[in-house]
Amino acid sequence: MMLLLLCLFGYSSAVIYQLNETDHEKMPNLIRLDPYEKCLRDPTALYCTVGIDLVSDTPSPLLNMIQEYSEDKSKHFNYSHIYQGICVNQRCQGINSSVPLPSYLESCLNRTFWEEYRLKTRTTKDIFCNNKNNAVDTEDIIVAAVILALIMFNAFGTLYDVLFTTGKANEGVKLLLCFSIRRNYLKLVKDNYEGDSRDGQLRSLNGIRSICIGMVILAHSLAVCIFVENPIYLEKMFYSPFTLLITNGTLIMQGFFTLSGLLLVFKYCMYVEKNEYSWTLILKGILLRWLRLTPAYAVIIGFTATWMRHLGSGPLWEMFVNVEVMDCRRDWWRHFIYINNYFEDSYCMIQSWYLAADMQLFLVGIIVVVFCRTKRSRIVTLSTLSVIGIIIPTLHTYYQDLDGIMMLTPETARNYFITDDTFNHVYKRGHTNLFGYIIGMALGYILYYWNDFGINLNKYKKLRPLYWCTAPALIALMYSGSIFYGDRPRMSLLFRTVYSALVKPIFCLTMAVFMLGMLLKFDNVYRPILEWKGWTVPSRLCYNVYLLHFLFVRFYVGIQTSIMKATFWFQVIFFIGLLTFSFVFAFVFWILLEAPMAELLKTLMSPKKREEEKCEVNTGKNDN
């Protein structure tokens, strides 16, 4: 029995899993802020937000309690590492100011913490002072010029469309009409699945994509509770089944990879029906995808690296906003070539790891679909890659002593995950997400060649109740990660390795079955919901929503001048507000940038086709 427990949990040290509120209030809060506006009324005032470690030269029961409570890393913040917002001119009077700023602040804080807690402090490298020199620079002007040019192009294109065309597809100056707001809006709301029946099979993917992005925003909205008056509220949430489901919803990103692999294969197979196989399709596919994704991505990175820093201020502004600004100025090139997910030292657009991983997997996928032309070569290649996709994350987990799943813990969230080994080595890498993408590719081949199998699904209607279990199974798989959040020692390396090896493959396979049932219209319960036409617009906006939403989280936290109290309704309102703002700005972004760039790319890449269409119109061969 003891051997079994050791295999499951390993060894443990002194840990306090729960404290009553009275004992919890004895600990210093995670953050304390001196009045910000009052401090800056003095033009010479200096306001600094400082990261400190709590220490003691003598035995301290309070420090012992803090350290033992913080040892439960799955549900608790690290209360031995906290932050203080200091109005230096007011709080640190009487301290020798001739020493370097870190030592000066440490002496100031030592006085405060000794009086209140009989503890001392040690300042860390996290010292953020109010920056009064945010002058507009060359980079700001360049980005502003680009944004202004986009607005002007849209204005001219729209005026030209309204005043000089009748709204028909094949008339006017095509390059200028790419920027017509009227036409781009009609493209946004148009249902593209009315027509080709095979392409129409994909309609349910709109619902899946929209629901998944909503879950991503819900999980990221918890970041607003990182610094609150009552951090115990967030810690207690980890005993809620719903919260545990959200925190383990990181698996949902596998659904995006599966969907991406499916679309690559299905669209490619439809493309080669009318075009010849050629290895040059690899280069063309990579170039088109880069041109398709990068314009919107580049503008958001450019805005983040420049004008974002001018939009507000606060005791947390330097710490939450300007740190991303500086990293984006330094690391923008990593994002432009989609390798940023293999670096661990940047706060710039942290959520964009997915774009890089997806691009890397696209490179693998397009090479496979172009060179594997026979059924046998596809089966062998995809099978081999799927096995590799299982083995690689398993080896990472075992040899690097990682968690069995990406854990959304209070402390890793406070650091935006860049210090979390599981996030850095497994969750965000391209090669560690290979399995889900390969399963999606296999699903694409199955869907495209389904009629060749000669299978009549009507014979299997009795199995529908079994199919309906796939959605609850996906939820159960996400909730299964709650085992890592219990009041117990960290799970053993053996257990974490086995769990890591199984959970993603099972989730991806279940997701593939769930998708296949709807795409083949085998299901009559989930499909009507996910094929609802109302998902069309949110689905098209998902890319921009994903790019934009975390900027609003950082902005909201950065402009706070006092510590707020977290409540259930505060979270609900913030989530709804974040969802609304993200989609509203994504709508504007899609209309003014993404749609024009996509149409411009289409126009420039296929001028001959458009000339042929124009000739057909002029000769009466096409009624449109």
Residue 308, both tokens: 């974002």
Q: Which among 262, 268, 295 is positioned nearest to 284, based on CA atoms?
A: 268
Question: What is d(CA 203, CA 183) in angstroms, rounded to the nearest whole number?
Answer: 22
245: buried, middle or exposed (CB in 10 Å: 19+, 13-18, 0-12)? middle
Which residues are 85's β-sheet partners?
A: 33, 49
Give the pLDDT score at 619: 35
- Nearest Cα residue to 436 out of 597, 308, 262: 262
Residue 68's Cβ-count burial label (10 Å; 0-12, 13-18, 19+) is middle
- Torsion angle, CA of 197/202/203/208, rounded to 10 degrees? 170
Burial class (CB in 10 A: 0-12, 13-18, 19+), 93: exposed
Q: Note the Cα 308 to chain centre separation in Å.
A: 19
Mention every residue, 6+ apart, whose C-beta is less than 8 A from residue 411: 73, 76, 77, 78
pLDDT computed for residue 382 by the predictor: 96
Residue 398, pLDDT score: 96
Nearest to 586 by CA among 158, 205, 299, 182: 299
The tokens for 118 are 């009989």
Spell 421-431 as b/e; 16+ CB within 10 A means b. bbbbbbbbbbb
Over the chain (624 residues), the average pLDDT of each successive run of 10 is 44 76 89 90 89 91 94 92 91 76 88 90 89 83 95 94 78 85 92 66 91 93 88 90 87 94 93 83 93 95 94 91 93 95 93 96 96 93 96 96 92 87 94 96 92 75 88 94 90 95 96 92 88 92 96 93 90 95 96 93 70 40 40
pTM score, whole prediction: 0.91
Report how far residue 146's alpha carbon sits from residue 336's, in angstroms, rounded to the nearest whole number: 17
pLDDT at 197: 61
Helices (H), 71-167: 88-91, 101-117, 138-164
Whether the Cβ atoms of residue 380 and residue 45 lie closer than 8 Å to each other? no
Report in angstroms the alpha-carbon separations of 24 from 15, 16, 30.
Answer: 15, 11, 12
